[in-house]
Amino acid sequence: MLNTVLIANRGEIAVRVLRACHELGIRTVVAFSEVDREALHVRYADRAYALGGKAAGESYLHIEKLLDIARRSGADAIHPGYGFLAERSDFAQAVEDAGLIWIGPPPAVLGLMGNKTSARVLMRAAGVPVIPGTDDPLTDEELLAAARQLGTPLLVKAAAGGGGKGMRVINSMSEMPNALSSARREALSAFGDDSLCLEKRIEGARHIEFQVLADQLGNVIHLGERECSLQRRYQKLLEEAPSPFVDDDLRSRMGSIAVQASSAAGYVSAGTVEFLVDRNRRFYFLEMNPRLQVEHPVTEWVTGVDIVKEQLRIARGRKLRHAQKDIHFSGWAIECRINAEDPFNGFVPSIGRVTALTVPTGPGVRVDSGLYEGLEITPYYDSLISKLICWGETRGEAILRMRRALEEYRIMGIKTTIPFHQRLLDSHSFMGGQFDTTFVDERFSLEEPALDPAGAQVAAVVATLVAHRRARQTVEDSPGSSRWRWSRPGGGWPQ
């Protein structure tokens, strides 16, 4: 039985997993760093334990601290969310060695699929189409020789990681030496492994991924595709399900290959098989993400399947509730990743306190978030602070609903990527579904509009109201009492 789960993560994904556990009657435990002491996941959990430290290496990446909290709290299982330790086979193995349930794929599968070169070898053996490239860790001299055989354009990629870390585009052979050197340094810093591989770069490619679910009894299904081509420097910005590029025939073929790839890997739990698709609809295996994806909500909305609850059921040893024939798609869903970044200043991270917050609601609107008024956004972790997901019966309705929701979403005190998404949704290329993985970096222009006099007046009024509201609050520093003192309704401060 699975009675108590430690969620080894933070932010919106920790809150998302907490909610699924609560709905299933599972008790929850979270760990928190020093700067996350007042975070939303700490407030929502049944029990919370301090990790200490601020940076991830001192807190959420500290395996021994997390296992100690699991023991002290009486947790039966650990859910890693995404990021941090979610794809670390050594962490999964340590969890199982401690007699706990790991809510994810087996450690051996994490080790296999977490390395791009070993994953390519396995997929090719299983009959899955793979992008031409190298399969083994190679020296710089060997990579240079392989590059001459493959021909440019190429991608240099970190064998042990993803998310664009350790990745370089090669358009001519003269770029190779510097690219290899910088990619190795970045890969070693990000993943502790400087192994590199080469892949042929597919021009005009779409990034299409398939959500899969696999139980411990060998049953594997897919939940359709997600369109993930809208990226900036290989970081996803907006996802949708289904893809405007994928027709029924392509969906059927790619879905079958995704299931075949998962079965070949001995996969268990929720995972994602990622493909690149060229202009002629030829598709190639890119990688398998053996964890919950940031963009899983769009799939949940068009299929009606709660992926996190399925992860928990699979971890309990239960059979999948659905067969492939039971999966049907309804409507269209779009997700905008809301990051604490300034889109008008090179997307540099923005830190500070959230001084005011208005969250959009209404039919077809979902917000996965760890935000609240007064929350301090720090520089220590990923800049993703919220996900806005909208559903419509058609893609057009989903776009219109997302526009409305973005207009309603107000986060003051920090810069966010909301204005970027507003411009993106107004783009003719986006509305027509005419984009690929290079669209944002190479063909999308983001210019800050001049504020008209009426807008300046509104901004001034809002700033004044926020300042007035904050002036009516003060921090109480004395120990043992509330940190906040509020003015009385009739005026004056409490004595």
Of 10, 88, 168, 291, the active-site residue reads 291
pLDDT at res. 55? 94
Q: Does residue 333 fall inside a structural domain?
A: yes
How far apart are the C-alpha atoms of 234 and 230, rounded to whole Å?
A: 9
Q: Are residues 170 and 37 in the same domain?
A: no
Q: Which of 200, 219, 250 corresponds to the end of one domain? A: 200
Q: Does residue 126 fall inside a structural domain?
A: no
Strands across the sheet containing 206-214: 283-289, 269-277, 206-214, 220-232, 235-241, 332-339, 384-392, 365-369
The whole-number average pLDDT for the span 306-321 is 97
Classify each residue of 123-162 as buried b or exposed e, where b means 16 or more C-beta atoms within 10 Å of its C-beta.
beebebebbebbbebbeeeebeebbeebebebbbbbbbbb
How many domains, the chain? 4
pLDDT digits (tens, 9 = 90+) for 209-227: 999 999 999 999 999 999 9
Q: Are residues 286 and 167 in the same domain?
A: no
Q: Are residues 282 and 348 in the same domain?
A: yes
Cis peptide before 153 (omega within 30 of 0): yes
Residue entry with tokens 């052979």:
173
Q: Are residues 156 and 42 in the same domain?
A: no
Q: Does residue 108 fall inside a structural domain?
A: no
Residue 455, pLDDT above cutoff 70: no
Strands (E), 35-76: 47-50
Specify whether 291 is catalytic: yes
CATH of the domain at 35: 3.40.50.20
Number of Cβ within 10 Å of residue 476's Cβ equals 10
pLDDT digits (tens, 9 = 90+) for 321-351: 999 999 999 999 999 999 999 999 999 999 9
For 37, the domain range is: 4-103
pLDDT digits (tens, 9 = 90+) for 164-219: 788 999 999 999 999 999 999 999 888 888 999 999 999 899 999 999 999 999 99
Provide, rounded to the nearest whole percent, the portion of the chain with pLDDT above 90. 83
The whole-number average pLDDT for the span 244-249 is 97
pLDDT at res. 437? 96
pLDDT at res. 457? 56
Q: Is the pTM of this model over 0.75?
A: yes
pLDDT at res. 418? 98
pLDDT at res. 191? 83
Q: Are residues 378 and 240 in the same domain?
A: yes
How far apart are the C-alpha atoms of 120 and 125, rounded to whole Å?
A: 9
Average pLDDT, the chain: 90
Q: Are residues 73 and 87 in the same domain?
A: yes
Q: At what angle do helices 11-23 and 307-315 cross, to 10 degrees?
A: 60
The whole-number average pLDDT for the span 48-72 is 96
Q: Are residues 438 and 340 in the same domain?
A: yes
Look at residue 230 and give its three-state secondary structure.
strand
Listed range (50-54, 222-226, 262-266, 465-469) with the worst mean pLDDT:
465-469
Please provide the DSSP assignment of 158-171 as one string: ETT--TTTT-EEES
